[in-house]
Amino acid sequence: MSEERGVHPCPQSLERFMRAEALVPEHRQVLRHLLSGCPSCRQSTGPLWAPEICAAPTPAEAPSEEEYETAISRVFSRVLMRDSELAGERDQAPQLLTELLRHPVGRQKMIVRNSRRFRSRGLCELLVATSHARSSEAPRSARQMAELAVVIGDALEAAEDDLSMLEDLRARAWGALGNGRRITSDLRGAEQAFRTAEIHLAAGTGDVLQRARLLDLKASLRIDQRRHDEALRLHDRVIAVYRRQGERHLLGRVLIKKAKVHAEAGHPELAVELVGQAMGLIDPSEEPRLGLVVRHNLIDHLSACGRHREAWSLLISARHLYLQFGDRPTLSRLRWLEGKIAAGLGRLTLAESAFQEARRGFVEEGIGYDAALVSLDLAAVYARSGDAARMRQLASEMLPIFQSRDVHREAIAALIVFQEAAQAELASLGLVREVASFLERNRHSSKQRFEPSSVCRPAGA
């Protein structure tokens, strides 16, 4: 061993040692020599010590430019082949989906389990995308799509090279299911789905954007669970990823969501600040609706801050965007916002007519929850103007509508408290606001029960 101490290893041997590729005797020989502190060998190994490696001169065995060229060409041809296979699968996916949806819901899972034809990556991707697209307007359908995506994802097989990519897809499918369960009020099921998604993600490619998307969905679950601090922490992680990756549009998107958390937690001024930042990041050409959403939310948050005049002037300049979309729910949201600002400015007659119109729009479109919320805003106008008769009439009209729509049990119970108070002419502005705030907070969750505070509790309740 003393001999080894003095003998300089050859450059190749030093490099193999540094790459941890040397066999045991060679490894020991080099190590023994380096232990003696040989300055010239340390000069050779130094540049190979990462992370300083980046600034290093070319070592003995560094590949040449031509070798890299050849390797890159080989990879390109393999990847292009896979791309064209995948293109075929993706082309067939819409047709497979149409075929699948013709069957009753109960049979769909059985079909994808038993028929090889439906075990397609393209179909799984399409189901995940459709599930997210339907999440706001058709929660049940979004959940069903995600359930099918999970079944297909679990049934897919992959070559060894593609395994980590398949795990990413499974993570996305389980993430969509987590989201689908969340929006159908199954928060515990959502939690489990996200846990499974994380397991798949850990076995995946380690892509940071996939992780960020999953964290973003999980943040929405935390909001529904009323765990706002955790939601904000998750948003911050997502923001850091998007910022690092230069994903400006996605960054703007998550800032809008974070702003909503602050607004719900009673900090509309923070929300205004964040939405202001988001406005400079959103690219409306990528997602035209988001261009409208960001303005709508900014105006809403400004109004919640009491900055009604500012909100009003912004609304006037943004009105053309609402009209561009022109669908009934969007126009109802415009009227709702106009009503809120008018109420804030004390123009109660204008607010009343705006709320009535918005309410009618939501009821006719079957958007029960927003109809309930706008009804409570209308009730607040009646409470302020002391119009007990109209309040009573509104309350009596409300329940039958909401009982027939997708409004959960605890929300109905809160509305009954309001209705009884209104019938007895005891519905104060405070109670109306409490019921409205309860409904806002528990849009996707039926776990909490409405308890009016003693100040607002109607006598006998």
Partner 1 sequence: MSAVDHPQVASSFEDFLVRIRPRLKSLFAHYRIPIQDTEDLLQQALLALVYQWKTVRDPEAWILGTLRNKCLLYWRERCRRLVESVDTAVLEWMAQPERPRQENDDLRYDLENLLARLPPRCRSILVLRYRYGYDPQEVAARLGYQRSSISKVTNRCLAALTRELVASSSPARRKKERS
CB of 415 to partner 1, least distance (A): 40
**Smaller CB separation from partner 1, 14 or 407:** 14
Alpha-carbon span 50 to 18, nearest angstrom: 10
CB of 318 to partner 1, least distance (A): 25
CB of 42 to partner 1, least distance (A): 6
Considering only residues 135-164, where is the footprint of partner 1 by CB under 8 A?
161-162, 164
- Per-residue CA distances from 354 to 101, 226, 347, 442 (Å): 40, 31, 11, 25
Torsion of CA 28, 32, 35, 41, to 10 degrees: -90
Q: Give yes or no for residue 10 binding partner 1 (CB under 8 A).
A: no
Instruction: Give the binding-site size for partner 1 (rule: CB under 8 A).
Output: 78
Considering only residues 187-216, where is the footprint of partner 1 by CB under 8 A?
205-210
The region of 14-22, 270-278, 315-323, 416-424 touching partner 1 under the rule CB under 8 A is 14-22
Helix (H) or strand (E) run with residue 80 in it: helix 65-101
Q: Give yes or no for residue 117 binding partner 1 (CB under 8 A).
A: no
Q: Which of 271, 295, 268 is nearest to 282 (CA)?
A: 295
Using the CB atoms, write b or e for 293-323: b if 16+ within 10 Å.
bbbbbbbbbbbbbebbebbbebbeebeebbe
**For residue 368, what are its two tokens?**
């029960």
CB of 41 to partner 1, least distance (A): 9
Interface pick for partner 1 out of 7, 8, 12, 35 (rule CB under 8 A): 35
How far the first Cα of the chain sits from its last, in Å, is 91
Q: Give yes or no for residue 169 binding partner 1 (CB under 8 A).
A: yes
Using the CB atoms, write b or e for 258-292: b if 16+ within 10 Å.
bbbbbbbbebbebbbebbeebbebbeeeeeeebbb
Amino acid present at 241: V
SS3 category, 50: coil
Q: Which of 102, 117, 112 is nearest to 146 (CA)?
A: 112
Q: Give yes or no for residue 42 binding partner 1 (CB under 8 A).
A: yes
CB of 207 to partner 1, least distance (A): 6
Alpha-carbon span 164 to 204, nearest angstrom: 4
CB of 2 to partner 1, least distance (A): 5
**For residue 225, what are its two tokens?**
């669970």
Interface pick for partner 1 out of 50, 389, 455, 459 (rule CB under 8 A): 50
**Smaller CB separation from partner 1, 50 or 389:** 50
Considering only residues 205-264, where is the footprint of partner 1 by CB under 8 A?
205-210, 244-247, 249-250
Interface pick for partner 1 out of 39, 104, 326, 460 (rule CB under 8 A): 39
Residue 221 burial (10 A CB sphere; 0-12, 13-18, 19+): buried
CB of 245 to partner 1, least distance (A): 6
Considering only residues 67-86, where is the footprint of partner 1 by CB under 8 A?
67-69, 71-72, 74-76, 78-80, 82-84, 86
Alpha-carbon span 105 to 117, nearest angstrom: 18
**Smaller CB separation from partner 1, 212 or 337:** 212
**Smaller CB separation from partner 1, 12 or 393:** 12
Half-sphere exposure of 74 (CA within 13 A, CB side): 6
Q: Give yes or no for residue 12 binding partner 1 (CB under 8 A).
A: no
Q: Which residues contact 336 (CB under 8 A, 6 or more apart)?
A: 354, 355, 358, 370, 374, 377
Q: Give yes or no for residue 133 binding partner 1 (CB under 8 A).
A: no
Considering only residues 86-105, where is the footprint of partner 1 by CB under 8 A?
86-87, 90-91, 93-94
Q: Give yes or no for residue 45 binding partner 1 (CB under 8 A).
A: yes
The region of 106-114, 119-127, 227-235, 305-313 touching partner 1 under the rule CB under 8 A is 119-127
CB of 241 to partner 1, least distance (A): 10
Q: Which residues contact 334 (CB under 8 A, 6 or more apart)?
A: 319, 322
CB of 135 to partner 1, least distance (A): 16
Q: Give yes or no for residue 289 binding partner 1 (CB under 8 A).
A: no
- Per-residue CA distances from 235 to 284, 299, 326 (Å): 22, 22, 32
Q: Give yes or no for residue 389 binding partner 1 (CB under 8 A).
A: no
Interface pick for partner 1 out of 19, 140, 195, 309 (rule CB under 8 A): 19
